[in-house]
Structure 1
Amino acid sequence: MSRRDSPRPRCQSCNLPSQLCMCAEIPRVETRTRFLVLQHLMEMGKKSNTGRVAVQALANARLLVHGALAEPLDTAVLSEPGTWLLYPDGPAAPADAPAPRQLVVLDGSWSQARKMTQRIPALRTLPRLVLPPPPPGLLKLREPTHPAGMSTLDAIARAVAVLEGPEAAAPLERLAALRVQRIAECGTLN
């Protein structure tokens, strides 16, 4: 295998090539809302995955993996009172509903997220937080396949802005922009 074909060493935490590691840049963000990131198994090793970085940044967050045969998903956590689903399709929760105490965020492609909502019945019963359309100029790696598409980290930052204010979301927004920049730099490394 030539030097060019050999895999570059990756940071075990942020999953970027070691020389682009952004772990020192990850802020610690306190929120009232607990975030439960439900990651599709196929997302775990992708350098473009932002769910794991979001969980590292959020003091009140937990990551669960869906699709691992050895560890079936314990859906009891989805039935906790005050649990909502961050999802762009379906009916939004009523405007007068109390804010969620826990927000479930699906981390995967649109196809994977849709399948998770179909295969995990508890997700279909949750009230939904539907975000407004993404702002123009939002940095992204590629065009989303869904009109409301954005990275998991961007979606969490926008949800924090809606639920807890723009000041609370600002460190996550900066982290999302840095992540896009670092992933773009991956393509320029020799």
Structure 2
Amino acid sequence: MSVPVFRRPRCQRCNLPQHLCLCAEIPQVATRTRIVLLQHIVETWKKSNTGRVAALALSNAKLLTYGAPDESFDTSVLSEPGTWMLFPDGPAAPPDAPAPRQLVVLDGSWSQARRMSQRIPVLRTLPRLVLPPPESGMLMLREPTHPSGMSTLDAIARAVAMLEGPEAAAALERLAALRVQRIAECGTLN
């Protein structure tokens, strides 16, 4: 006899279980820098996905999906002048380079992000924005496959702070902390 699996209903907007829904708390954050989230197809409907929440919060964001079978991927948006990529290694921008107008953020597990960076030729040519290691005591859910343990939302908040100042990133940081707190209180993402 099989035991039925109970699945909690999810919010259609933020994709979290309804009891964890963050929609009422998602701020609208305006940035000069356009954030292009390049989301791996496998991440699209994961409950743990924070890229979707970041895209909802950022008024100057574009969410693209990569890896759909039988679909070609248009890289033209990634080739726009002034485009950088948030990534821990690769070609660094010259110290006197102007700030990026557009920042590509790979949204997926660490292995998915690494594969995307290798399989999409234009990404290999982009200057990199590298984040310093997280401060000790930073409240986040650890992702063991990612060297820094940062979620996509955490990483975007830190990138916005670097590029546009801590005030611009404060609402994103509060949203990331609230998400971690709610999940910790429930003890699960199910």
TM more than 0.5: yes
| TM-superposed deviation, 1:189 | 8.9
Q: CA 1:92 to 1:148, structure 2 compared with 1: closer, same or farther past 3 Å?
A: farther
Q: Which residue of 1 aligns with 2:72?
A: 72
Residue correspondence of structure 1 range 1-190 to structure 2 within 5 A: 5-187=5-187
Q: Root-mean-square deviation (CA), in Å?
A: 1.8
Partner-residue secondary structure (3-state), 2:39:
strand
The whole-number CA distance in structure 1 between the counterparts of 2:95 and 2:189 is 48
Deviation at 1:2, TM superposition (A): 5.6
| In 2: Cα distance, 1:50 partner to 1:11 partner | 14
Secondary structure of residue in 2 paired with 1:135 = coil
* Residue 21 of structure 1: how far off its partner (Å): 0.9
Deviates more, 1:129-138 or 1:21-30: 129-138
Q: Could you tell me whether the CA contact under 8 Å between 1:48 and 1:183 is conserved in 2?
A: no
Output the CA distance in 1 between the equivalents of 2:188 and 2:111. Answer: 29
- Give the stretch that moved more between structures: 133-142 or 178-187: 178-187
Q: Quick check: 1:54–1:153 contact (8 Å CA) kept in 2?
A: yes
Deviation (angstroms), 1:117: 0.7
Residue 143 of structure 1: how far off its partner (Å): 4.8
Paired amino acid for 2:54: A
Taking a change above 3 Å as real, the CA distance of residues 110 and 135 of structure 1, as seen in their structure-2 partners, is same
Q: How many residues align?
A: 189
SS in 2 for 1:38: strand
Q: Contact conserved, 1:93 with 1:127, CA < 8 A, in 2?
A: yes
Q: Distance in 1 between matches of 2:138 and 2:19?
A: 25
Q: Measured at CA, do residues 130 and 52 of structure 1 come closer, stay the same or move farther in structure 2, by a change above 3 Å?
A: same
User: Which stretches in structure 1 are left out of the alignment for 5+ residues?
Assistant: none
**Corresponding letter in the other structure for 2:101:** R
Q: Match of 1:8, as an amino acid?
A: R
CA contact (8 A) 2:40 2:65 kept: yes
Q: Please give the per-residue CA displacement for 1:110-156, whole angstroms capped at 9, x wherever unaligned.
A: 10000001110000000110111111112222254343341100110
CA contact (8 A) 2:90 2:127 kept: no
Output the amino acid matched with 1:60: N
1-structure distance, mates of 2:65, 2:142? 24
What is the Cα deviation at residue 177 of structure 1?
0.8
Change (3 A) 1:143 1:16: closer
Q: How far apart in 1 are the matches of 2:55 and 2:189?
A: 27
